[in-house]
Amino acid sequence: MSPSIKAREFPHRHLLGIAELNEADITQILDLSETLRGINERPIKKVPTLRGRTVINLFLENSTRTRTSFEIAGKRMSADTINISGSGSSASKGETMLDTARNLMAMNPDVIIIRHQASGTPALIAQHVSCAVINAGDGTHEHPTQALLDCATIRKHKGVPGQGLKDLEIAIVGDIDHSRVARSNIMAMTKLGARLCLCGPATLMPRDVEGLAGPEASERVRVCYRLEEALEGADVVMMLRIQNERLGAGATRFANTREYSRYFGLNRNTLSLAKPDAIVMHPGPINRGVEMMPDIADSMRSVILDQVAYGVAVRMATLYLLGGGSFGES
């Protein structure tokens, strides 16, 4: 492995969100992921890069695929990965955030990966620890590694080399309001030059959502409430999961899943409005038959499993950049 891949010093200590990254940072992670992806296809899927480093997977909200993906990424880089799972807030345990952070630091980790139900928790923890913090999804705020793996997948299938995602038409459909994946993707994709159409019922569209792209790029983001309009001419169709678990509080946002599916579900007919070679994505887990018909999920157009594969590569890249890894060691 050539040492030149770390030619650029990665200018961040933590990965708390896409918001703090610029185009060059994102491109650096994506390029490194492409390099590291090869490791995952070797017979012996392990490099010594992070040997002796300790990575804590702190998952305080249910997750299987993200936790597994981070764990595999750490292990393939030879880090010692420890999983801590649980649920609930520090408050519900009568602890403060500082208590949580002190307990973690007592284990002397190099990287803490945090999944938490409350927005901002990784940022708050990062203020109190001396190691790197990676946000693995916090509330309805951000899920940066998911956006990075989505961009890596799109770049591979649709991108022009050296052009990022420039001028690609991407439709993101569904529960934008409760989606950290959507927030991170809106920021990442617009930073890489894409044009976005966000679609869903107005009840699931957060206020001033175009503003997520920042003042310059916000004109490349539009909102529409008709699926047909969103899909027209799309290169990429990303369907979001209806998050029943987050829909409990407050007034209802739509009548029922039957009606939701009828107006916002992706099926063969609606997909035909997109470009003939459009790819279909979903961050998983899919509510089959709600946001996406099963035949679409399993079709040639679907790159859902590529997303999962890129997930490991992107997380390896992130751990490499933040975990103090080096390819110079043997």
Partner 1 sequence: MPTMDYLIRSSRVIDVSGGDVSGASGPGANAASAPLDAEVDVLVQGGRIAEVGKGLAAPKGVREIDGRGNIVLPGLVDLHVHLREPGQEYKEDIESGSRAAAAGGITTMCCMPNTRPVNDCRAVTDLIVRRSREVGIARVLPIGAVSKGLEGKSLAEFGEMKEAGIVAVSDDGRPIMDAGLMRRALEYGKTFGLPVVQHAEDLNLAEGGVMNEGAVATRAGLRGQPPQAESIMVARDIELVEWTGAQYHVAHASTARSMELVRDAKKRGLPVSCEVAPHHFTLTDEACASYNTDMKVAPPLRNESDRQALLQALADGTVDCIATDHAPHSEVEKDVEFDCASCGMLGLETALSLSLELVNDGVIDLRRMAYLLTQGPARLFSLDAGIGTLAVGSPADLVMFNPETRWVVDRNAVQSRSKNTPYHGRKVPGQVLLTLFGGNPVFDRKGLCDE
Which residues lie near partner 1 (CB under 8 A)?
19, 89-92, 94, 96-98, 116, 118-121, 123-124, 138-142, 180, 183, 206-209, 211-212, 249-251
Answer for the pair 137, 165: CB distance below 8 angstroms, yes or no: no
**Minimum distance from CB of 138 to partner 1 (Å)?**
7
Query: CB–CB of 285/66 below 8 Å?
Result: no
Residue 232 Ramachandran class (φ > 0 left, ψ -120 to 50 alpha, else beta): beta
**Residue whose token pair is 């993707």:** 185
* Closest CB 177 distance from partner 1, rounded Å: 9
Residues in a beta bridge with 173: 199, 239
Residue 120 or 289: which CB sits closer to partner 1?
Answer: 120
* Nearest CB to partner 1, comparing residues 221 and 303: 221
Residue 273 beta carbon to partner 1: minimum distance, rounded to whole angstroms: 28
CA distances from 15 to 123, 145, 169 (A): 9, 9, 27
CB of 282 closer than 8 Å to CB of 121: no
Quick one: 90 or 190, whose CB is closer to partner 1?
90
Least Cα distance to 16 among 142, 117, 105, 177 occurs for: 142
Smallest separation (angstroms) from partner 1 to the CB of 141: 3
Phi, psi of 142 (to 5 degrees): -145, 155
What letter does residue 289 receive in the DSSP assignment? T
In the bound state with partner 1, the residue whose beta carbon lies nearer, of 147 and 312, is 147
User: What tokens appear for 317 in the block?
Assistant: 């890249």
Instruction: Write down the least CB distance from residue 126 to partner 1, Å.
Output: 10
b/e sequence 265-288, b meaning 16+ C-beta within 10 Å:
bbeeebbebbeeebbbbbbbebbe
Q: Which is nearer to partner 1, 19 or 308 (CB)?
A: 19
- Compute the least distance from the CB of residue 322 to partner 1, in Å: 20
- Which of 58/234 has CB closer to partner 1? 58
Category of 88 on φ-ψ map: left (φ > 0), alpha (ψ -120 to 50) or beta? left
Cβ within 8 Å of residue 296, ≥6 positions away:
266, 267, 268, 271, 280, 302
Q: What is the distance of C-alpha 135 from the center of its chain? A: 10
Which CB atom, from 16 or from 50, has the smaller least distance to partner 1?
16
The CB-of-26 to partner 1 minimum distance in angstroms stands at 18
Q: Which is nearer to partner 1, 161 or 207 (CB)?
A: 207
Collapsed DSSP state (helix, strand, coil) of residue 113: strand
Nearest distance from C-beta of residue 250 to partner 1, angstroms: 3
CB of 70 to partner 1, least distance (A): 20
Our CB check for partner 1 shows the closer of 77 and 124 to be: 124
